Chain A
């Protein structure tokens, strides 16, 4: 149960850090800004939900950069054709799930390493996003669509709610369903899972498809926030999403890590960048700092990983 304690302390210290930042940085702890932070982190956060599961089964999904551009491009174009919003959104999501499934197939059936599969699939999706509108961005979507990104419900931005929902789904799947248990088992010891007669390929397909689903939601949300689909809007999100998972303690060695923590990681990255912007720190210097934090955080969590049953 040391883990649970660890998690609580993690969150507490996270809060403490934010408080510290609040004291040091004017305008940081204003409600408006904090909502901003969450909204800006929501894309990374949603991506991290899916990414967590992928990393837990010892995979990685580099295709989300492409998907964050491709899926909303599909939805957006349909929407501008006058297709009903819901249908266009669904189409975008299907595109994401489809690409995810393809990743899964390559990994499960042809056992191509996820790293390379998803890298290339991402590149292809990126390319498709460019082709669809000749590399131009599209915008001027129906108000109700833009509302998803910028409107708020009961005073809480819709984006934040969406993030919560996706996080909820992720937590439910990983922690409250048999599938979740099997996902972690898969990350822990694949042979055992196979012996149990569990459909391993099915699991992998599901996980990658779900990651594609998350990417599509993230992309659509982003485009709703910007009232735009830019064909290369996904680029900045890939590394930040992985970093979010890592900062949230998702182990690249598989079988370890929680969705909620990964979302926490996303919020951390979001607030760091926000703080640095508020301080007017040069973006190049931001890179330096973010890089340092990533390494230090993992170093820190690594330290705690060497506990082991003591010889009697």
Chain B
């Protein structure tokens, strides 16, 4: 009978909605879930079949979307992990903002009893409790890229990464030099609430301190070209006379450059952070002045190295420094060949 009335009242959802709930949704859910699990389950079993694997090393990142650095890092960790005979597993929180999602995922990794974890915290504070859980579960963790809040050294083996504040500061110093210690600059920030981004900009400001270079405008580009372009366009309207621009990351350069060319501003000194191949291309094309390089390959392989050493010999932990700075350097037109070798 219902089916008849299904057709009787196909016109208006509202009218039909005032009715009880039935078992159907749960059924559908069950099917969908089982379907999902089974056919993704295949994936898993194959992963396990890569026999002779000494265990699984998981890497937890915020996202690899539009982020060559994170991708390079992931690739490096994967390569090193597999070369050392372990199975690689990548979990990404997907969204730029999914702080708690990442924590949940790490918890799930612990529940899954992975052998070791390489973690790029989206928030230095948020990961502290889960790191505690990992320690209690006896799963060693290495932190990469962005640091954990001060005072929790005991929760992880070591931190391997770029000192973002330092990178920013170097950029600032370079800017002062390039502008001959005078002039106005714009700053395109990362997403609001992004620690790495904030550190870079803070560092940049530090680098400008005491110089004749002052910041005329500073707006968030949300790590996205379209947003970066819009804020740059607008800031350029307010400041006809800027000579320099600092971008918190290479990932926003395209948008920024479009804004500049639309406003046909030439000869503006652009310094960015990352050292991705994209930036290096722009460098070669003379579109930007320079970018503060990070070294994801180095970070990735170092991290896995240390992690494995501890997995295979607990005591090794003591001999490892708590912070390993993978360093930074300015890529500019002067060291293009160097850059081309190092870039990611």
Q: Which residues of A come within 8 Å of B, CB atoms?
A: 2-3, 6-7, 9-14, 16-17, 20-21, 24-27, 30, 32-33, 36, 40, 43, 130, 135-140, 146, 149-150, 188, 222, 225-228, 230-233, 235-236, 247, 249, 251-257, 261, 268, 271-287, 289, 292-293, 296-308, 310
Determine the chain B residues whose CB is within 8 A of the CB of A3 once the complex forms.
20-21
Q: Are A279's CB and B40's CB within 8 A?
A: yes
Q: A228-B125, A280-B47 are in contact. Are A10 and B100 (CB under 8 A)?
A: no
Please give 16 more A-B residue pairs, beta carbons under 8 A apart, in addition to A10-B25, A140-B149.
A9-B23, A25-B37, A139-B126, A146-B129, A222-B100, A225-B103, A226-B128, A231-B192, A273-B104, A274-B104, A297-B28, A298-B25, A304-B19, A304-B24, A305-B17, A307-B19
> Is B151 located at the chain interface by the 8 A CB criterion?
yes
Q: A256-B18, A256-B19 are in contact. Are A292 and B32 (CB under 8 A)?
A: yes
From the candidates A227, A249, A261, name the one contacting B125 in the complex (CB within 8 A): A227
**Overall SS of chain A's interface:** helix
C-alpha spacing A24/B38, complex, angstroms? 7
From the candidates B2, B23, B94, B123, name the one contacting A228 in the complex (CB within 8 A): B123
Q: Are B21's CB and A261's CB within 8 A?
A: yes
Q: A24-B34, A251-B17, A308-B9 are in contact. Are A136 and B29 (CB under 8 A)?
A: no
C-alpha spacing A284/B101, complex, angstroms? 13
A45 to chain B, nearest CB (A): 14
Q: Are B128's CB and A228's CB within 8 A?
A: yes
B145 to chain A, nearest CB (A): 16
From the candidates B2, B103, B151, B193, name the one contacting A137 in the complex (CB within 8 A): B193
Determine the chain A residues whose CB is within 8 A of the CB of B320 once the complex forms.
none
A-B contact pairs, 14 of them (CB 8 A): A9-B26, A16-B30, A137-B123, A233-B99, A236-B97, A247-B29, A277-B104, A277-B108, A281-B40, A283-B94, A293-B32, A300-B27, A302-B16, A304-B2
From the candidates B5, B44, B111, name the one contacting A308 in the complex (CB within 8 A): B5
A134 to chain B, nearest CB (A): 8
Q: Are A27's CB and B40's CB within 8 A?
A: no
Determine the chain A residues whose CB is within 8 A of the CB of B193 once the complex forms.
130, 135-137, 230-232
Determine the chain A residues whose CB is within 8 A of the CB of B14 once the complex forms.
253
- Which among B1, B27, B109 has the greatest number of chain A C-beta atoms within 10 A? B27
Stretch at the interface among B85-93, B208-216, B291-299, B330-338: B85-93
Determine the chain A residues whose CB is within 8 A of the CB of B99 once the complex forms.
137, 226, 228, 230, 232-233
Determine the chain A residues whose CB is within 8 A of the CB of B111 once the complex forms.
27, 30, 32-33, 36, 278
- Total chain B interface residues with beta-carbon distance under 8 A: 71
From the candidates A230, A232, A275, name the one contacting B37 in the complex (CB within 8 A): A275
Q: Are A225's CB and B129's CB within 8 A?
A: yes
Q: Are B98's CB and A236's CB within 8 A?
A: yes
8 nearest A-B pairs in the assembled complex, by CB-CB distance: A139-B125, A304-B22, A3-B20, A253-B17, A13-B26, A249-B21, A300-B24, A283-B94
Q: Are B33's CB and A36's CB within 8 A?
A: no
